[in-house]
Amino acid sequence: MLYLGSDLRAANGQVDPALIDPRYPLSADVPELATRQMDYWPSYTAISDSARRAYIEWLATGRSDPTADIGYVFLFFYGLERRALVDAASDPAAKADLPAIEAEVRRLIAIYGQNRSFRRYASSFIEFLAPHRLGDSPGDQPPPPSRDFSVELRLGLGRMAMRGKPVPTSWAVAWALSDPRLKLPKALQRCPLQFETLFAKLYTEQFGEGIKLPVNRTKIRLSYRPASSGFGGSELSVDTDGIPDITAVVAPLKKLEALIEKCASALAPYSRFVGKNPAQATSLEAALLLPRALWPDATAAAMQGLNEKIQDGLRVMTIGELVSSLGGSASLTRDRLRSLAHALEEINVGIEPDILGGARTPKADDQIILFRCAREDAALRQSGSYQAASVTLDLACSVASADGNPHPNELRLLMKQIDSWVQLSEPQRKRLRARLRMAIEAPPSLAALRGKLDIIPADARRALAHLLSTLAQVDGTVSPAEVRLLERIYKALEVDAQALYTDLHIAAGAPSATNTAATTTTPSRHVTGGLSLDMARIEALQRETEQVATLLSSVFIDAPASVESEEEQDEMKPVSEPTLLGLDPEHSTFLRLLLTRSSWQRQDLVDAAADMELMLDGALERINEASFEQFDEALIEGDDPVEISRDVSEKLAA
């Protein structure tokens, strides 16, 4: 990768700066490579004997000493520019060297890229050679994504637009990760692999083979001003055959932005957890925060096993047994149990007590009910009618359990009542059946229900109290424990205690105005032998329950959407990319496009501004104002052609 000889002319007619002419002497002493011995545009024949000796030493030792003065790197780079930009145009052997030259430049960037000037020249040089790398086809696999939106990616997408070919999923992922106009929230930056997988899945589901790009008016034009003085400061350009520049289009971005927002929403819980607990990124707790499609194989298999056990019935177990069956062992915090409940909903399994609906957090040895549910259950359980029915059911269960285990007749009546609530959907009734089953295992306490009783209006309270006293009669006996509980409920509902005894006698078919009953502390009606249910009374009770539910449903209005916490909002907030000259994202994007050339024909800029939905003159004026404010000079000069100041553009690149 060297030019060695006595005569090699550069484009400016002078001896090529990169030529190593053995006729020129070297210093006998080996100087320090870090010592600066050359001017800004060095030439091998013009530098000192000491600098030539240091340069030869740098070459001989592998061109990899990180302490070497950047001038030696540039002097060698001049030869690579000459080979790729001059010789390769007419010499097949030189053209065949291009892949090796690019690989060498990338290696040098890895070692000396901290020097901004070299990194800028070397990176631009590699971009300028992109058409040689790609050929005529964009290829099946995209180039690696980078936030500077590589020329390879732009060329590939532009060729797809020209040929009417949809953008494949892999290219769409690379685009989303590369386009500086598409801002990735913190939730996506924290878990990039999960984001790429989910984005690809959603993209394929929504767009099939991919979105098709418009053939916009702005075309890709590649230009490069070589670092070597042998080119006389001239700018080179390469014909891209009119490939459209998709960095100037707006419409396709909206589709990608919508997918990014979906991914951010789905991955925000996992991202927050991993941010706080990085060592637990592969735990069950973390896995269950992911969308179902991203569950690890072990988690998916455990959930599938649980799914098969439940089938269409109910399953009773402790919360500790549930977590253990899924491979978890961490402490059962409320947040983790909520995550588990959300994950169960992914496989259409509900849990009672309803943790997501506000129930208290069960302990490891507390029993729970798992049941088959529908995906819509999560939203429907927040409706006013469901809230009313659940309060009614909880109070009824507490009364039925007051004297021990509920009587089978009471349970059958309550099950019939749930089935008769036609104002509820089947998923809501299914959850209420599981709630009833849970009440058998752990009857709800009056203390836990007080918060909901406080907001019930007076007319509904009286009707609800009468309903509960009627229910207490269904098993044929009103026990002292039931009476004591009813007294407490009537008091909590602020209903006259004397009304309880009247209600009990009415329910039992006794005269409604019996003073002796009112003074009895434990009224009861015993039935001996087998109990025969009075179906007419049960039907009346069902009608009364429906009336109570209607009254209550006006109280429990649909729950408002939960307000995201500041932490949740932070996960979803796009992380802003650095803008140029303090401009807004739209004008910053337009400026990036301007900087890809040293001059523009005005019509090309008119097309570019139209593609970006900007007014050209206003955009140019705004950019120049920002340039004056920061550098005290204009970036854009002239009207047609429009010239881009080299000095200002180099300051921006730095």
Most confident of 26-35, 483-492, 615-624: 26-35
Going from the C-alpha of 615 to that of each of 109, 182, 581, 619, the distances in angstroms are: 38, 22, 19, 6
Say if residue 450's pLDDT is above 60: yes
Which residues pair with residue 236 across a beta bridge? 224
Averaged pLDDT, 354-364: 81
Q: In the structure encoding, which two tokens stand for residue 393, read together?
A: 């059911």
Tens-digit pLDDT profile for residues 625-648: 888 788 788 888 888 888 888 778
pLDDT at position 197 is 93
Burial class (CB in 10 A: 0-12, 13-18, 19+), 225: middle
Say if residue 554's pLDDT is above 60: no
Which of 354, 218, 370, 347 shows the shortest CA–CA distance to 292?
347
| pLDDT-wise least confident of 269-273, 510-514, 542-546 | 510-514
Please tell me whether residue 556 adopts helix, strand or coil conformation: coil
| pLDDT-wise least confident of 64-68, 154-158, 422-426, 543-547 | 543-547
Say if residue 523's pLDDT is above 50: no
| pLDDT-wise least confident of 147-151, 328-332, 342-346, 561-565 | 561-565
Give the mean pLDDT of the chain: 81
Q: Tell me how crowded residue 595 is: count the other CB atoms within 10 A of its CB.
A: 14
Tens-digit pLDDT profile for residues 588-622: 888 878 887 878 888 888 888 887 778 888 888 88
Q: Strand 367-372: give its sheet, edge to edge.
A: 314-318, 367-372, 349-352
Averaged pLDDT, 564-593: 67
CA distance 148 to 126: 13
The full set of domain ranges for the chain reads 1-128, 151-265, 383-558, 585-653
Averaged pLDDT, 410-436: 82
Q: Which long-range contacts (CB under 8 A, 24 or more apart) does 191-196 make?
A: 191/267, 191/270, 191/271, 191/274, 194/267, 194/270, 194/290, 194/294, 195/263, 195/267
Which residues pair with residue 643 across a beta bridge? 599, 637
Residue count of the chain, please give it: 654
Task: Kindly write down the DSSP assignment for every residue of 420-471, as one continuous string.
Answer: H-TTS-HHHHHHHHHHHHHHHHSPPPHHHHHHHHTT--HHHHHHHHHHHHHH
267 phi/psi in degrees, rounded to 5:
-100, -5
75 within 8 A of 42, measured Cβ to Cβ: yes
Instruction: Please state whether 210 falls in left (phi above 0), alpha (psi between -120 and 50) or beta.
Output: left
Please tell me whether residue 649 adopts helix, strand or coil conformation: helix
| pLDDT-wise least confident of 243-247, 285-289, 362-366, 445-449 | 445-449
Mutual orientation of helices 384-400 and 535-553 as an angle, nearest 10°? 130
Say if residue 145's pLDDT is above 80: yes
Which of 402, 429, 406, 400 shows the shortest CA–CA distance to 416?
429
pLDDT at position 630 is 82
Averaged pLDDT, 488-503: 83
Nearby residues of 264 by Cβ (< 8 Å), 6 or more positions away: 184, 185, 187, 188, 571, 572
Task: Kindly write down the DSSP assignment for every residue of 345-369, as one continuous string.
Answer: HHTTEEEES-GGGTPPPPPTT-EEE
CA distance 637 to 624: 9
Q: In the structure encoding, which two tokens stand for residue 398, read together?
A: 């507490």
Q: Give buried/exposed letters for 452-469 (b at 16+ CB in 10 A, else e).
A: bbeebeeebbbbbbbbbb
| pLDDT tier, 561 (very low <50, low <70, confident <90, very high otherwise) | very low
pLDDT at position 517 is 33
Tens-digit pLDDT profile for residues 367-412: 888 988 876 555 666 677 777 778 878 888 888 777 777 777 777 8
Which residues pair with residue 318 across a beta bridge? 367
Say if residue 60's pLDDT is above 90: yes
Say if residue 135's pLDDT is above 80: no
Pick the residue with more confidence: 649 or 523? 649
CA distance 110 to 129: 18
CA 620 to chain centroid, in Å, comes to 35
| pLDDT-wise least confident of 164-178, 438-452, 502-516 | 502-516
CA distance 508 to 648: 95
Task: Calculate what percentage of the chain has a pLDDT beyond 90.
Answer: 23
Which of 485, 488, 483 shows the shortest CA–CA distance to 518?
483
pLDDT at position 293 is 87
121 phi/psi in degrees, rounded to 5:
-65, -45
Q: In the structure encoding, which two tokens stand for residue 286, read together?
A: 């973390």
CA distance 282 to 398: 42
Q: Which long-range contacts (CB under 8 A, 24 or more apart) does 347-350 make?
A: 347/292, 347/303, 347/304, 347/306, 347/307, 348/307, 348/372, 348/373, 348/374, 348/375, 349/306, 349/307, 349/310, 349/373, 350/377, 350/430, 350/431, 350/434
Pick the residue with more confidence: 547 or 391? 391
618 within 8 A of 256, measured Cβ to Cβ: no
Pick the residue with more confidence: 363 or 519? 363
pLDDT at position 520 is 34
Please tell me whether residue 559 adopts helix, strand or coil conformation: coil
CA distance 101 to 107: 10
Nearby residues of 331 by Cβ (< 8 Å), 6 or more positions away: none
| pLDDT tier, 113 (very low <50, low <70, confident <90, very high otherwise) | very high
**Amino acid identity at 6:** S
pLDDT at position 532 is 42
Give residue for tokens 């269950």: 288
Q: What is the pTM assigned to this prediction?
A: 0.65
Please tell me whether residue 636 adopts helix, strand or coil conformation: strand
CA distance 162 to 182: 23
Pick the residue with more confidence: 441 or 576? 441
Helix ranges, 216-318 (H) = 251-276, 284-287, 297-310
Most confident of 71-75, 475-479, 579-583: 71-75
Nearby residues of 187 by Cβ (< 8 Å), 6 or more positions away: 264, 267, 268, 270, 271, 272, 571, 572
| pLDDT tier, 524 (very low <50, low <70, confident <90, very high otherwise) | very low
Pick the residue with more confidence: 226 or 314? 226
Pick the residue with more confidence: 477 or 196? 196
Q: Tell me how crowded residue 133 is: count the other CB atoms within 10 A of its CB.
A: 15
Please tell me whether residue 219 adopts helix, strand or coil conformation: strand
Most confident of 22-31, 369-378, 437-446: 22-31
| pLDDT tier, 66 (very low <50, low <70, confident <90, very high otherwise) | very high
